[in-house]
Amino acid sequence: MNMIRKLKVVKYALIGAALSFSAQVQAGDTIKVGVLHSLSGTMAISESTLKDTVLMMIDEQNKAGGVMGKQLEAVVVDPASNWPLFAEKTRELISKKKVDVIFGCWTSVSRKSVLPVLEELNGLLFYPVQYEGEESSKNVFYTGAAPNQQAIPAVDYLMNDLEVERWVLAGTDYVYPRTTNKILEAYLKAKGVKSKDIMINYTPFGHSDWQSIVSDIKKFGSRGKKTAVVSTINGDANVPFYKELGNQGITADNIPVVAFSVGEEELSGIDTKPLVGHLAAWNYFMSVDADVNNEFIKSWQKFVKNKKRVSNDPMEATYIGFKMWVKAVEKAGTTDTDAVEKAMIGIAVPNLTGGIATMMPNHHLTKPVLIGEIQEDGQFEVVWKTNGTVVGDAWSDFLPGSKDLISDWRAPLACGNYNVKTGKCSGQNF
Amino acid sequence: MASGLILLQGACAKQEPKMNQSSAANQISSGILYASRALLLLLTGLIVAWIFTSTALADEVGFEQAVQQLTTRKFRDKEKAVKQLADIQDKRTLPVLQALLDARLYYRKSDKRVVIVVPIDGQYQLSDPLNGEQLGTAAKRQLKKIGINNKLRKLLKAKLASLSLESPDVEVRLAAVEQMLGHLDEAQADYITRLAEQEQDEDVRDAMGSALALHQLEHGSDEQRLQAISLLSGNLSQVVNNHLQALLEKNEQGEFLETNTTLRKAASRALDLISSRLQINSIIETTFFGLSLGSVLLLAAIGLAITFGVMGVINMAHGELIMLGAYTTYLVQSAMPNYTDLSLIVAVPAAFIVSGLFGIMIERFVIRHLYGRPLETLLATFGVSLILQQLVRTVISAQNVAVSNPSWMSGSWQINAALSLTYNRLFIFIFAMVVFVALLLILKKTALGLQVRAVSQNRPMAQAMGIRSGWVDAMTFGLGSGVAGIAGVALSQLTNVGPNMGQAYIIDSFMVVVFGGVGNLWGTFVGALSLGAANKFIEPWSGAVLAKIIVLVFIIMFIQKYPRGLFPQKGRSAEN
């Protein structure tokens, strides 16, 4: 009896010791990776997927031996789709939790709110979503598409392959659609499209009554010239929009809609019948048949234990960003922000569509551009793609304010917005 | 066979000189000559027949090849195959092309045989496009769909239109003529002219007439064109409008492209008539849009009109009760996947019960304890709304779910060439009216309604008369919540079904109820429809964002002046 009790005590003591020891090992020898994606609120639909992607990448990296012999440790916080909270959570991640890198943000407004904190505390952020450009921060790597890697090639496709002459630019009323449409309008006008052949329309977030707008589009599109809709309509508002299109008899062969915010994830919550044939422009589609993509999808579905889960473009951007960061840390031999930043430029990793992504000096990537048609099963069939990859352009060449600006974070220049005309770096931090 | 005959003919020719030698044989020889001529004739006939059958054979082979070629991955080759199929005059072409357009043309993975499928109970029934033979059933994964792109879709529609001009179905013929409107070639124009003479249906004949007139406007003599314009005058089709407009276009020097002045004058008169008719159409259309938006607002708000208006409870979870109704629709639909058309009708009572039960639970467990403390009720029900949202996120999914439209709610009702009303909006408008009338009857004509009104007007007196006021409260709240659930069924047909959908409607609902006047169903009715209509009439010139703001500003100002809304409550109960 006594003996047994003693043994038990020893056992507990041993377990306790082992636990405290392993905790020490953990504390001393891990690299902390911050994950800043909304897990509640309106953006949870899209962002929680990216959180899972980062966790999967960390898991895989740890199984493969970690980075520089150290294990990675995820620090997940929930900014709850609340933009000011993004800034607070960033401060918490960098100053309190001492993370070495952050993967996060989705909306542009959340990125803008995080930016001053990152620059003040010299943090490192990988931003994985397509955005409107006009930004290049020393502390941010943009692994999603810039407008010239999504919007402009899509318009080129419509113009050259589908011979579109009239344009509807429809978007949700916030910064990404407004800037993208400004760029597109300037681009179309430079290509000789007249003002009367461009219709611009903005709607509030979550707009659900599309009757009059779709009826206007129908009238605009029946003037004898081929018409297309370029849609930067965001999130939930897409479902009633496409439903109304279908009900009013607008099909993809009379007026095709090319969307920049509708991917596999969004389609999985929609009855896709009325959408068949409409287009989307991305740098990745789940349906792309490449070995590395098939493998990625397999491990993703295994990780979330759901055979039906889809993959999408921002996931690929997260994948590329993570792989690049690992490579850069190994190249620099440290997780120090400045060293990693320097090492990042020029890093090349395979993307998921069978090509190579390279980090350019302006902190943007090289990407292929794909145009896909929506199929009845919610997947895309690629109908067009660029030859090779396109270099992301931080400052658009089609806006008067930014066409003279370049960004180059390499040694002598080290500036995010250098004006080639005046030869000056404006000195603003982004 | 043919080559054998040629040999025979050669043999006869060789014999001829020999037979000429005797006069006796002359007759015979002429007989033989005659015979050989007859043979020659027969031969030619046979050869012609052979050529004929061989072209038929070539068509047969071509048809088979073209169908097989559809299995190629390259869209350009598919396009060629479709064109080839359309050129072959064959009865089987139409079903194949139609199946391709409807995504019902597959090929078997095992032997690459092209099949037309009909889905039955999760299985596919196969038939051979070549000879119509039934090939049994197969599972989806044994088959591969033949994909098409937009270019092909367009080509298919054009080819199908010209193939179905002689269809026995009037609707199909009409659609075919309308599809071809404005781009006829000479051969098609002749073909349609012939068809128009035999056409029985008046609408189709009219459509054919406009198509031919449009063709003459492009290609005819000046006199024919003038006639065509007078025929097309008042036609609301946008294609006609474009062609007439083109007559009035100027070149860069400001000179008219069309030199004939009489024609131009006629065209501009025709256009004036068209545009005045279009104006009337567009007013009707906007009114419909407004009423339809109003009916959605009415559905969302009418449950609140009962809980807030009659009971005075500020229920922030009202939107979530709508959401629960929408999710019930989704669950009902996934429980009966083969009966989409029916599932919506089943969903209405189901959603009423589900949301109603949740409402009663909220009333019994939360609100009951907070009567007379509006601020606490507001906070508590806000908390309930968050709980319900998270409940759906955890139990079902954080992602939106797909609710499909039944066939009778898809598409639109084409009134004339320029005016069409979508069925889903039309049904929802009617549905909203039915729900409103039903609620009105419940409150005015039933015992429950009487008790509800009694309790809301004077609670102690009602209690003194033997009414169980607690029970009435629960039932009233349940009724309001159930109606919110029904609204969810309707909204699932228009917008997203997701955990956040309720929040989009809570503000609008309160807006309508406050504007219409608290405690008055008619106020809610008039408030919803007039706000909807105002929104839609402002939208065309201000844009959707500004329209919403203008309406909100208007309501703020209205409430300043008339704090009790459009239809204020009168009498003693209005005082407190």
CB < 8 Å to B501, chain A: 236
Residues B480 and B463: their CA atoms lie apart, in Å, by 22
Question: Position B487: which residue type?
Answer: A
Question: Does A225 contact B at CB distance below 8 Å?
Answer: no
A to B CB pairs, distance under 8 Å: 129
Given an 8 Å threshold on Cβ–Cβ distance, is B410 in contact with A247? yes
pLDDT tens digits, B273-289: 888 888 898 899 899 99
Nearest CA distance, B45 vs chain A (angstrom)? 49
Q: Which two tokens stand for residue B30?
A: 């002429």
Token look-up 């405290």 returns A20
Query: Chain B within 8 Å of A202 (Cβ-Cβ)?
Result: yes
A19 burial class (0-12, 13-18, 19+ CB within 10 angstroms)? exposed
Interface mutation target, options A215, A304, A306, A380, chain B, most CBs of B under 10 Å? A215
Query: Is the CB of residue A277 less than 8 Å away from at least one CB of chain B?
Result: yes
Report the DSSP beta bridge partners of residue B117: B126
Q: Which residue of B has its CA nearest to A382?
A: B149
Q: Looking at the DSSP assignment, which residues form a beta bridge with residue A101? A: A33
Provide the pLDDT for residue A225.
86
Give me the tens of pLDDT residue by residue for chain A, a chain 430 residues long: 455 555 555 555 555 544 444 444 444 579 999 999 988 777 777 888 999 999 999 999 999 999 999 999 999 999 988 899 999 999 999 999 999 999 999 988 899 999 999 999 999 999 999 998 889 999 999 999 999 999 999 999 999 988 899 999 999 888 889 989 999 999 999 999 999 999 999 998 878 889 889 989 988 988 878 899 999 988 778 888 888 888 888 888 889 999 998 888 888 777 787 788 899 999 999 999 889 999 999 999 999 998 888 999 999 999 999 999 999 999 999 999 999 999 999 999 999 999 999 999 999 999 999 999 998 888 998 888 888 899 999 998 888 888 888 888 888 888 888 888 888 887 665 4
Residues of A in contact with B79 (CB under 8 A): none
Residue of A nearest to B179 (CA): A254
Q: Is A162 an interface residue toward B (CB < 8 Å)?
A: yes
- Chain B interface includes A78 (CB < 8 A): no
Decide if A239 contacts A271 (C-beta within 8 A).
no
Give the residue extent of every domain in chain B: 22-164, 184-279, 280-397+423-575
Here the ipTM equals 0.73
Q: Enter the tokens of residue A427.
A: 């000195």
Interface check for B289 against chain A (CB to CB < 8 A): the answer is yes
Q: Nearest-CA distance from B187 to chain A in Å?
A: 23
> Which long-range contacts does B548-556 make (Cβ < 8 Å, 24+ apart)?
B548/A204, B552/B511, B555/B511, B555/B514, B555/B515, B555/B531
Are B325 and B451 in contact by the 8 Å Cβ rule? The answer is no
Contact residues on chain A for B540, CB-CB shorter than 8 A: 212, 216
Q: Do B147 and A244 touch (CB under 8 A)?
A: no
pTM of the predicted protein model: 0.77
Question: Which residues of chain B are within 8 Å of residue A207 when distances are taken between CB atoms?
Answer: 544
Nearest by CB to B150, from A45, A248, A253: name it. Answer: A253
3-class SS of residue B502: coil
Q: Inter-chain contact B545–A277, Cβ cutoff 8 Å?
A: no
DSSP three-state, residue B436: helix
Q: Tokens at residue B262, please?
A: 């009489």
Residue B7 has pLDDT above 60, yes or no: no
Question: Which of A51, A161, A194, A212 is best to mutate for the B interface (most B CBs within 10 A)?
Answer: A212
As given in the structure block, the two tokens for residue A120 are 């003040």
The reply to whether A80 touches chain B by the CB within 8 Å rule is: no
User: How far B496 CA lies from chain A's nearest CA (Å)?
Assistant: 6
Cβ contact (<8 Å) for A271 and B402? yes
Check CB contact of A299 with chain B, cutoff 8 Å.
no
Q: 340-359 in A: which are within 8 Å (CB) of B?
A: none
Contacts of B390 in chain A (CB under 8 A): 40
Q: Does B248 touch chain A (CB under 8 A)?
A: no
Residue A119 is predicted with a pLDDT of: 92
Residues from chain A contacting residue B141 (CB–CB below 8 Å): none
Sequence letter at residue B367: I
From chain A, pick out residues whose CB is under 8 angstroms from the CB of B333. Answer: none
- Please return the burial class of B88, using the count of CB atoms within 10 Å of its CB with bins 0-12, 13-18 and 19+: middle
CB contact under 8 A, B150 and A204: no
Query: Quick check: A268 and B399 CB within 8 A?
Result: yes
Nearest residue on chain B to A212, alpha-carbon basis: B289
- Residues 6+ away with beta carbon under 8 Å from B181: B207, B210, B211, B214, B237, B239, B240
Put simply, the chain A residues between 251 and 270 with a CB less than 8 A from any chain B CB are 251-253, 256, 265, 268-270
CA of A335 to nearest chain B CA: how many angstroms apart? Answer: 35
State which residue of chain A sits closest to B242, comparing Cα positions.
Answer: A223
Beta-carbon contacts of A375 under 8 Å, excluding residues fewer than 6 positions away, are A272, A276, A381, B147
Least CB–CB distance from B400: residue in A173, A269, A383: A269
Q: What confidence tens digit (pLDDT) does each residue in B122-158 have? A: 678 888 888 878 888 887 778 888 878 878 888 888 8
**Per DSSP, which regions of B382-471 are E strands?**
412-416, 419-422
Hey, what's the torsion of the CAs at B503, B509, B510, B512, to 10 degrees? 150
* pLDDT number for residue B13: 42
**DSSP string across B83-140:** HHHHHS--TTHHHHHHHHHTT-EEEETTT--EEEEEEETTEEEEE-TTT--EEEEE-G
Q: Pseudo-torsion of CA B56, B62, B68, B72, nearest 10°?
A: -170
Instruction: Give the per-residue pLDDT at B42.
Output: 65
By DSSP bridging, strand B143-145 and strand B412-416 are unpaired
